[in-house]
Amino acid sequence: MIVTVMRYGIGARGIDFLAKSVDGDLVMEGFPMYDGHGNLIATLSRETSTPYFSVGDLRSYDVWGSVRSGSSTGDPKQRYCANLGHVQDDESGLIYMRARYYEPWTGRFISEDAAGHGLNWFVYATNSPANKVDSAGYWTDDDVDAYWSLIGAIEGLAGSLWAIVQLSRKSAAAALYALASVSFLMQWADIGPNSVRPSDAAETLFIPIAAGFLHMAFAALLQSVLRPNVTPSGFQHGLAVLGVYLATLTAFMFLREIEDGLSYWY
């Protein structure tokens, strides 16, 4: 029985090297060529019997991954999003994306999202295949980055909340005031996985840093208003929290305007 083995080398963009052996003997080696989306558009390869490389396996795709020109079957099996290791089954035409199979001519997965992410559990790349990829069949890669950004924001807010509680010396009341302020601010700023745009690196860094900084400033201002030697009444404490919070909110709005202006120009 003839044993054919295909080996893949992983590089900065994913699969960067191909090597095919038959019964232990190397018969072909090559290098995949990708377009900007990571689709395999050609291979630079050679048979081991010759020292010369040649360009072959030329293909082009539509935005959803269907082959528009070139062979739609045969080796290499990697085609649409090939740099991620996705392979196409020649019998069905489906693309294996680890968790699920993808149907390129409809732009949909053939099974629903096990994680229940989003409104449509069959949609691919949130209906934006030109800008996004789904490396594992669960969610787009920028959604993963968005969740990590959200975790960073929550971490910064939680640390600031703890600082507010500690600095105000009014643990129970301060916890309520701070929690209400933080939750209201997050709702106003629309901080969440759907609002974060991790394709913009500055945006990803801006949310946790700005939120954490402003809430730490909120805690410091609150401590300066509520002097350690003075025990304010609940009403005075509430007014102080509200006043400092409004000042923080104004500063946050100002920073958001700066960010929007920068995003407009850049």
**Residues 202-247: tens digit of each pLDDT:** 444 455 455 555 555 655 665 565 555 555 555 555 555 555 556 5
Higher pLDDT, 19 or 191: 19
Q: In what order do the strands lie in the sheet with 87-88?
A: 87-88, 95-96, 101-103, 108-109
pLDDT score, position 155: 57
Q: Give the number of other CB atoms < 10 A from CB of residue 46.
A: 15
Q: Mean pLDDT throughout 10-29?
A: 85
Q: Mean pLDDT throughout 247-251?
A: 58
pLDDT score, position 83: 78
Q: Give the dihedral of Cα atoms 177, 183, 189, 192; nearest 10 deg.
A: 160
Answer whether 182's CB lies under 8 Å from 165's CB.
no
CA distance 11 to 71: 26
Token pair belonging to 118:
């989003």
Q: Give the dihedral of Cα atoms 38, 132, 105, 120; nearest 10 deg.
A: 150
51: domain range?
4-139
Assess whether 169 and 128 both reside in one domain.
no
| Coil, helix or strand at residue 162 | helix
* Confidence category of residue 7, pLDDT binned at 50, 70, 90: confident
pLDDT score, position 203: 46
Nearest to 191, CA basis, from 139, 229, 147: 147
- Phi (first) and psi of residue 188, to 5 degrees: -65, -45
pLDDT score, position 265: 42
Is the per-residue pLDDT at 183 higher than 70? no
* Confidence category of residue 69, pLDDT binned at 50, 70, 90: confident
Of 77, 109, 139, which residue sits at a domain end?
Answer: 139
pLDDT score, position 266: 40
- Which segment, 116-125, 150-159, 190-199, is predicted with the most confidence on average? 116-125
Is the per-residue pLDDT at 13 higher than 60? yes
Assess whether 146 and 132 both reside in one domain.
no
Assess whether 88 and 149 both reside in one domain.
no
Assess whether 146 and 112 both reside in one domain.
no
Assess whether 116 and 157 both reside in one domain.
no
Of 75, 107, 139, which residue sits at a domain end?
Answer: 139
Of 118, 139, 160, which residue sits at a domain end?
Answer: 139
| Total number of domains constituting the chain | 2
Nearest to 160, CA basis, from 134, 139, 178, 145: 178
pLDDT score, position 105: 92
Q: Mean pLDDT throughout 187-215?
A: 47
